[in-house]
Amino acid sequence: MTNYKLTDAIASTDTETKMWKSRFSVAKAAYGEGNFKECKSLLYRALEQGQKLKEHEFAVNTCLVGLAAVDIAENKLDEAQKHLEKAIHALSVSTEPALRELYGVALRFNAHVMFLKGETNPAREEIRKAAEVLEALGPEGAVQLAYTLSDMAILHVTQGELKDAKDLILSSMDLLETALGPENPEYMRANMIYNVSEAKDETEMLSAIESSIVKMQYQRGSKHPGIVRAVKWYLKKLYDRGDKTLIAEAEDKFNIQAKR
């Protein structure tokens, strides 16, 4: 059976494990609302608690990946990489499917950090490795593989390799539609990437991105880090074009300022 959430991989049903899952779930909700201080506090408490669980290796490293996600949202890339390197080192020799899946997720996040640091080629290699790990898991790794393929497609888009991006994102969308359905925010994100890869010119591309962001806001809320990143990227594109009218309209619509 495909795991839709990472924490589904923990099979234990004892009270402590249930409490850990609940705390991690609340931390994830705080992350989605952009409440990073509360999210980190909950994750550190979950990290401490996770060390005492039967499935402590999974619990501890899941928290480390979670902390890295918050660091990325706060643009603390060096701190994010420290958390991820610790998790990657601990998980690299694991053979248990749940831990292999988590290893693939950690590699995926590390690739994102590398990309944000401008290390494009290392990021390509890291995300390729993540995809290989997750693909080897078969149906168990399908959802996380879909997320990884979406990230790989974004890497290709930024390099102007639209055909490669399109091939990857179609594979991601197939997996996401089967596992999560077309109304899921991750499917909508993948669809946005597809529209970008299909756009005939930059104007059409920006229109597709704006439309997709609006749709995703209804699903995730305007403060979700993924939405904020998409909006900032969109505004940067408008700023680079020097289109003051569209910049002003977008700033008003999304309640955020473009880089001046």
Q: How far is CA 32 from CA 36, 69, 165, 240, 260, in A?
A: 9, 11, 27, 29, 27
Buried b (16+ CB within 10 A) or exposed e, 60-91: bbbbbbbbbbbbbbeebbebbbebbebbbebb
Lowest mean pLDDT among 70-79, 142-151, 213-222: 213-222
Q: Please indicate whether residue 201 or residue 120 has the higher confidence score (pLDDT).
A: 120
Q: Which residue has the tokens 């923990």?
A: 10
Q: Please indicate whether residue 257 or residue 22 has the higher confidence score (pLDDT).
A: 22
d(CA 178, CA 139): 11
CB contact set of 91 (below 8 Å; sequence gap of 6+): 57, 61, 99, 100, 102, 103, 106
d(CA 92, CA 80): 18
Model confidence at 34, pLDDT cuts 50, 70, 90, reads: very high
Q: Please indicate whether residue 120 or residue 234 has the higher confidence score (pLDDT).
A: 120
What value does the mean pLDDT take over residues 58-78?
A: 96
CB of 219 within 8 A of CB of 188? yes
d(CA 211, CA 199): 13
What value does the mean pLDDT take over residues 221-243?
A: 80
d(CA 218, CA 185): 9
**Number of Cβ atoms within 10 Å of the Cβ of 247:** 18
Q: Does residue 201 carry a pLDDT above 50?
A: yes
> Which pLDDT score, from 0 to 100, does residue 1 have?
31
Taking all residues of the chain, what is their mean pLDDT, rounded to a whole number?
88
d(CA 226, CA 243): 24
> Which pLDDT score, from 0 to 100, does residue 260 have?
47
Domain locations along the chain: 199-260
Q: Record the pTM.
A: 0.86
d(CA 85, CA 91): 10
Q: Does residue 257 carry a pLDDT above 70?
A: no
Q: Which amino acid is at 46?
A: A
d(CA 16, CA 76): 31
Q: How far is CA 20 from CA 2, 33, 94, 208, 235, in A?
A: 21, 20, 22, 40, 38
Q: How far is CA 42 from the centre of its chain?
A: 19
